[in-house]
Structure 1
Amino acid sequence: MAIPGYDSSNVAEYTLEHVGARVAVVAGVVPDAFGLAKSGDDPPVDALGDPVELTAVEELKAVEAVEITLVYDPGKLPPGASPTDVAVAVETDDGWEPLESTVDLEETTVTALLNDRPPGPTVVAGYDDRSGEATD
């Protein structure tokens, strides 16, 4: 999985096939402990897949890009929801925060591309109903 704009030889990639999660990282320091694991956290009510833990994410240094891709189950979307109302959400101290994400309807995946570490280590694909909110 290439991160657009980055040389693939500089990208560290990790996959957790049985939960459908991939992460690619461009950073000055990617610790050996970094990777993916199935999370034991309870998913939010609007989760469309299993939560995934980014292990040792706080040990990443000089982060240039983090790309998180998660498989989701479109059958779990609420009735009437758009199939594009899906986002990668990250668990923070304030609850689950949806990240700016791109949906691939053919692959039923959702991808978030960040220029820093995510604000928490646990991520999940979830229903994102923010599209109807007004922005300032």
Structure 2
Amino acid sequence: MAIPGYDSDSVAEATLEYAGARVAVVAGVVPDEFGLERSDSEPPVDALSDPVHIAGLDDLKAIEAVRISLVYDPSKLPPGASPTDVAVAVETDDGWEPLTSTVDLEETTVEAVLNERPPGSTIVAGYDDRDDSDASSA
């Protein structure tokens, strides 16, 4: 999973096949324990995928880019919801925070690209019903 603008040799990647989750990072230091694993977190009610934990995230140093990609189940969208109202959400102390995301309708994936560490290490694809002026739920 390439990150545009970065040499693929400098990208560390982790995949959790059963969950359809992928994370790629460009960082000065990527610990050996960096990877994806099953999460025991309770997913939000509007989750469209299983929650996944990014291991070793706190130990990444000199982060340049983080790319998170999740497969989601469009059949879990509420009736009348737009198929583009999907976002990668991160579990924080205040609940699930949606990240600015891009949806690939053909592949049924949602992706977020960040230039810093995400605000949490547990991620999920979720229904994002906020408009541009409201960032309150995922």
TM over 0.5: yes
Offset of 1:133 from its aligned partner? 4.1
Q: How far apart in 2 are the matches of 1:134 and 1:74?
A: 23
Runs in 1 of length 4+ with deviation above 6 angstroms?
Answer: none
Q: Which residue number in structure 2 is paired with residue 103 of structure 1?
A: 103
Kept after mapping to 2: 8 A contact 1:85/1:131: no
Q: Which residue number in structure 2 is paired with residue 75 of structure 1?
A: 75
Kept after mapping to 2: 8 A contact 1:90/1:124: yes
The gaps in structure 1 that reach 5 residues or longer are none
TM-score, normalised via structure 2 length: 0.95
> What per-residue deviation string (whole Å, max 9, x for no partner) do you get for residues 5-38 of structure 1?
1111100111100010000000000000110001
Q: How far apart in 2 are the matches of 1:132 and 1:26?
A: 29
Q: Which residue number in structure 1 is paired with residue 13 of structure 2?
A: 13
Computed over aligned residues only, the root mean square deviation of the Cα atoms, in angstroms, reads: 1.2
Kept after mapping to 2: 8 A contact 1:64/1:116: yes
The gaps in structure 2 that reach 5 residues or longer are none
**CA distance change for structure 1 residues 23 and 134 in 2, over 3 Å: closer, same or farther?**
closer
Q: Residue 18 of structure 2 aligns to which amino acid in structure 1?
A: H
Q: Which residue number in structure 1 is paired with residue 87 of structure 2?
A: 87
The alignment partner of 1:75 has SS state of helix
Offset of 1:130 from its aligned partner? 1.1
Offset of 1:85 from its aligned partner? 0.1
**CA distance change for structure 1 residues 25 and 71 in 2, over 3 Å: closer, same or farther?**
same
Q: Does 1:48 align with 2:48?
A: yes
Q: Which residue number in structure 2 is paired with residue 33 of structure 1?
A: 33
